[in-house]
Amino acid sequence: MTDDSREAGPWIRRFHPAPEAPARLVCFPHAGGSATYYFPVSRALSPAVDVLAIQYPGRQDRRNEPCVEDIEELADLVVEELRPWGDVPLTLFGHSMGATLAFEVARRLEAAGTPPGTLFASGRRAPSRVREETVHLADDDRLIADIAQLSGTNSAVLDDPEILRMILPAIRGDYKAAETYRYRPGPPLGLDVVALVGDDDPQVTVDEASSWREHTTASFELKVFPGGHFFLDSHVAPVLDLVRGRMSVAPVRS
């Protein structure tokens, strides 16, 4: 039995520790999301893959901490937290804002000489494709309407004023980080990139997702799924199969 006494700390959730796994998947939540979004992913992939989910400040058990409203700053902080976890190959998976953050983390890891094996960029346009968005400056009603349109938050939560008051600051902070992010020109990544997109996503077109190919000199793959911004929720099995394939691990037989 492998002795793994590392502390995950406030930034990392390791729901199903798999210290003997030969590879590690790092998951980055969407704007307003939390590490628990990836609990089912961790459960499905363990023990073949050691899954780490990033917990941003300003939500759940970190709700009393100020949000980090800048992707570059957030990437610097996450990279520092990931340093103890680079003893086995890392794969990065980010959805929406999390895809942009995962890209910036990948840039930093590669520059440090510890590049991930693959970057999965889900539900997000390529970093160099810019849309002028200002939802983070809108009033609460507009922000709630935008969340509802994307179907990323349970309707029961949207109907509960008390819960909404708790989560809106984190959502607004994340929206600001995502909407004010601007790509810094630099060399493309030298690692594989897989872009995932829903064919009816109002946040990103298939063309915008395909532009991720410009950000790597290694292999690129584009996967288009039926659905909107949270197509992941309806296509868990094929997405997990894609991740397993890239990480060269077989499904766990029950």
The one-letter amino acid code at 48 reads A
Residue 47 burial class via C-beta count within 10 angstroms: exposed 0-12, middle 13-18, buried 19 and up: middle
Tokens of 58: 């300003």
Angle subtended at Cα 231 by Cα 34 and Cα 52, rounded to the nearest 5 degrees: 35
- In angstroms, the Cα distances linking 179 to 3, 34, 70, 173, 247 are 42, 19, 9, 10, 31
Is 211 known to be catalytic?
A: no
Tell me whether residue 245 is exposed, middle or buried, using C-beta atoms within 10 angstroms of its C-beta: 0 to 12, 13 to 18, 19 or more. Answer: exposed
Catalytic entry in 96, 128, 155, 234 = 96
Counting DSSP H helices and E strands in the chain, the numbers are 8, 7
Active-site residue set:
96
